[in-house]
Amino acid sequence: MLALGTIVYLKEGRQKIMIINRGPIVEKADIQFLFDYAGCIYPIGMNPEQVLYFNEENIDRILFEGYKDEDEQRFSELYEESVSKLGDKVRKGTTNLRLNNEA
């Protein structure tokens, strides 16, 4: 699990993405989808209309790793436990899932 503030390139991507959330659950057509990360375009920052949801396998390259300390380590442990308890309630999201009406 990458820390908040980590800067990555996604596969096929041309813009830097900064991780701003981990484990977001997004609802579409009454179905909940879990993603590994949510990000924004770097250096522009957060725009609610342009939040990008992606998973570990979509990352091509890590350019900068965000801050990590003992709280980060504890979060990672608790996160893994929480995800394993979700079971079939939440589906794994994919980057080709259209969450809004964007093209």
Tokens 């893994």 -> residue: 80
Alpha helices in 1-90 (DSSP H): 70-86
Query: The pTM is what?
Result: 0.85
Measure the CA–CA gap between 44 and 25, rounded to whole angstroms.
24
The pLDDT tens digits of the residues spanning 60-99 come to: 999 999 999 999 999 988 998 888 888 788 898 987 655 5
The pLDDT tens digits of the residues spanning 2-29 come to: 999 999 999 988 999 999 999 999 998 8
Measure the CA–CA gap between 65 and 18, rounded to whole angstroms.
10
Measure the CA–CA gap between 49 and 93, rounded to whole angstroms.
18
Beta bridge partners of 52: 39
